[in-house]
Amino acid sequence: MKKLLFILCVFSFCVSAFAQEANAPAAEAPATVAEELAEPVQDPAERNKMLYSLGFLLGDNLKRQLILDNEDDYKALSQGMRDSLLNKESQTQLDDYKPQIIEKYQKDAEIISQRHLQEQKEYLENFSKEKGVKVLDNGALIKLSKKGKGRTAKADSRVTVHYEGKLIDGTKFDSSYDRKEPFSTKLTDVVPCWTKALQQMRPASKATVVCPAETAYGNRPVGAIPAGSTLVFTVELLGIED
């Protein structure tokens, strides 16, 4: 039953994650309850785009949990969602299908996990064969695109960097460039991959740093990073402090 509840809560989890960003207190309280509850006027075209975007994100979240093989699968799933959202009667006896739903989730989760592991393995193998790649003793990989000058950092140095982090499929999950602010940290306070890799860099150098899951966040999800993910960073080392 816990598995079933997890599936059914996928959508609400996704929505709540986005909603948390909108929970900052207003600068000034509304004058009346009616004013507080009033829905702001919104252009219909923009509202449709917003709802389409929400639907796309919900679908993206769902496909990480389940395997849908063909157009008929999509149609059946979307029809069930449509009937539920419109408060229509179910076209099936829902209790009869709960065991099959649980079984599908369990099987699909295993298949997706194995595919994920294989994709990570292939990416690491291919990257390790590229010219100039150095494999470090903890399994992290680094490829310098700009060497820089000066001394290298120590394991407990403080460094200032600009960076961008992506999953192996190109999905960006973090970027100091986007924030327009360099990131400063001690190498004792970052993932093991960074601790090792940044000791290979000199000020003004730039590198691609690839972190196998065991050198990053392992089998726990962190924000937009799924569990067991290999991470790919572009890192510019701006400075070193001891």
Using one digit for the tens of pLDDT, what is the confidence trace for 170-222? 999 999 999 999 999 999 999 999 999 999 999 999 999 999 999 999 988 89
Which residue range forms the structural domain that includes residue 121?
2-17+43-125
Q: Give the DSSP letter string of 58-109.
A: HHHHHHTT----SHHHHHHHHHHHHHHHTTPPPSS-HHHHHHHHHHHHHHHH
Render pLDDT for 81-95 as a digit per residue (tens, 0 to 9). Answer: 999 999 999 999 999
Residue ending a domain, among 125, 150, 170, is 125
Residue listed under structure tokens 């067991």: 228
pLDDT at residue number 64: 79
Q: Which residues of 97-129 are buried (b: 16+ CB within 10 A; e: fewer)?
A: eeeeebebbeebbeebeeebeeebeebbeebee
Model's pTM, two decimal places?
0.72
pLDDT at 2 over 90: no
Residue 77 lies in a domain: yes
Residue ending a domain, among 109, 125, 141, is 125
**In which element (H, E) is residue 202 found?**
none
Read off the CATH number of the domain in which 185 is found.
3.10.50.40
Q: Are residues 146 and 226 in the same domain?
A: yes
Q: Are residues 115 and 171 in the same domain?
A: no
Maximal C-alpha separation, the chain: 71
Residue listed under structure tokens 């392992």: 218
Residue 33 lies in a domain: no
Residue 229 lies in a domain: yes
Nearest one of 216, 238, 240 to 162, comparing CA atoms: 238
Residue ending a domain, among 66, 97, 125, is 125
**Cβ-proximal residues to 191 (8 Å cutoff; 6+ apart), any chain:** 211, 215, 216, 217
- Name the residue with higher pLDDT: 29 or 34: 34
Nearest one of 86, 78, 79 to 62, comparing CA atoms: 78
Count CA atoms within 13 Å of residue 74 on its CB side: 6
Residue 34 lies in a domain: no
Nearest one of 216, 211, 195, 230 to 143, comparing CA atoms: 211
pLDDT at 10 over 50: no
Ramachandran angles phi, psi of 170, nearest 5°: 95, 0
Q: Residue 196 in contact with residue 136, Cβ under 8 Å?
A: yes
